[in-house]
Amino acid sequence: MAVGGAPNTPPNGPPPSAIQTAPNLVAFDPKQVVPSQQIYLQRNDLIAFNILTNGTSIALRIDYRWLTPQGEIKEGELNLPFVSGSAFVSLPIYEGWLLSFAARVTSGAVLGQWTFLQALITRTPNPNAQSPMHALFWSGFIYAFTANGWPGLPAKELTDGPGIIRSITGSTPAPGAEISEVIPSQRRWTLLCFRSTLTTSATVANRFPGFLLDDGGINLFLIHTNAALVASSALNTQISPGNQFYGDGVGSLSLPFPTPLDLKVGYHIRSNTPGLQAADQWSAPQYLVLEWGQWDS
């Protein structure tokens, strides 16, 4: 009990879910022997985790250890189910030295899924992107069933590394409409290739399939084939940064795009087809990208 009879209670916030403690076999005075990692949390300090993922409803587990001023090592576990997109969470250890933490995604390995984690010090029980943070002491990627944390591998930026290879199935537009694929929120892509098929109706007309890039308002690049596609036919169209224009004469066409081709949130990959008829159908858009997260837009 504190002076005056008020109980000592930790700050508000989600409590650790499974704190374990046991008497030490060796006792020492932390004033004389302190941990090598100098992260000491006061009673109004909290550990905040900033999470960004391209997954949906992922489960994240964080196990941590700290040393109390009385020389006792304690362990805790924080389980975060159903994280989608981005999230902030904080936890108190009341007072002491943070010794370590390890995080892992436990909801299963999904092809192309990634989760990025930042570990910070704050005094805000329910932190968000605008909350004051007093220290960033680790950041890195957490992959399914593989732990990462502090101390351990060097901290990484969100855009570090080779990126995640993702094969993405796009949306098939209505008949007579163009393809329009948008880079989602908090993503950065390098386009490797894109493929789709245009099937024309029996309406007699010349179509000139092509593709364009825009930033959500301004067209940045546009290219078409110079060979007309006639009625009642189909053309498989591929685009790839740095390749050459090529039509094989048997239903396949390759169009060049700039290289490298880096895209961010709000940019579009769109088909653009002069002569497109009401019953013509673009279908089966499929593209291959390298993906990173991106904090800003």
Place of tokens 């894109």: 194
Q: Is 90 exposed, middle or buried (0-12, 13-18, 19+ CB in 10 A)?
A: buried
Which ranges in 48-202 belong to alpha helices (H)?
none
Burial of 41 (0-12, 13-18, 19+ CB in 10 A): middle
Which alpha helices (H) appear in the chain, and where do they start and end? none
Span 19-38, pLDDT tens digits: 555 555 555 565 666 656 67
Q: What's the chain's length in residues?
A: 297
Burial grade of 278 (CB within 10 A; 0-12, 13-18, 19 or more): exposed
Query: How much is the pLDDT for 35?
Result: 59
Closest CA to 24 of 74, 80, 95: 74
Question: Could you give the CA distance from residue 160 to residue 156 in angstroms, rounded to a whole number?
Answer: 6
Confirm whether 193 is domain-assigned. Answer: yes
Residue 9 falls inside a structural domain: no
Does residue 83 lie in a domain region?
Answer: yes
Q: Are residues 176 and 133 in the same domain?
A: no
What mean pLDDT, rounded, does the chain reach? Answer: 84
34 domain residue, yes or no: no
State the pLDDT confidence band at 1, using cuts at 50, 70 and 90: very low
Q: What is the mean pLDDT of residues 86-113?
A: 87
263 and 241 assigned to the same domain: yes
Question: Residues 53, 83: contact at Cβ < 8 Å?
Answer: yes
Structural domain boundaries, residue 78: 40-150
Q: Which of 150, 172, 195 is at the close of a domain?
A: 150
Residue the block writes with tokens 């403690």 = 21
pLDDT for the residue 26: 53
Structure tokens at 151: 């101390």
Domain count, the chain: 2
Among 190, 235, 191, CA closest to 210: 235
* Same-domain status, 198 and 273: yes
Nearest-angstrom CA–CA distance, 20 and 61: 16
pLDDT at 62: 93
Is residue 29 in some structural domain?
no
Check whether residue 208 and residue 279 sit in a common domain: yes
* Ramachandran sector of residue 160 (left: φ over 0; alpha: ψ -120 to 50; beta: rest): beta
* Interval 31-49 mean pLDDT: 79
Q: What is the pLDDT of residue 143?
A: 75
pLDDT value at residue 234: 94
Which among 47, 37, 36 is positioned nearest to 118, based on CA atoms? 47
- The verdict on 171 and 289 lying in the same domain is yes
* 3 state DSSP class of 63: strand
Q: Are residues 146 and 204 in the same domain?
A: no
Give the pLDDT band of residue 131 (cuts 50, 70, 90).
confident
The answer to whether residues 49 and 103 belong to one domain is: yes
Name the more confident of 13 and 247: 247
pLDDT of residue 185: 87
146 in the same domain as 197: no
For the cut 70, the answer to whether the pLDDT of residue 75 exceeds it is yes
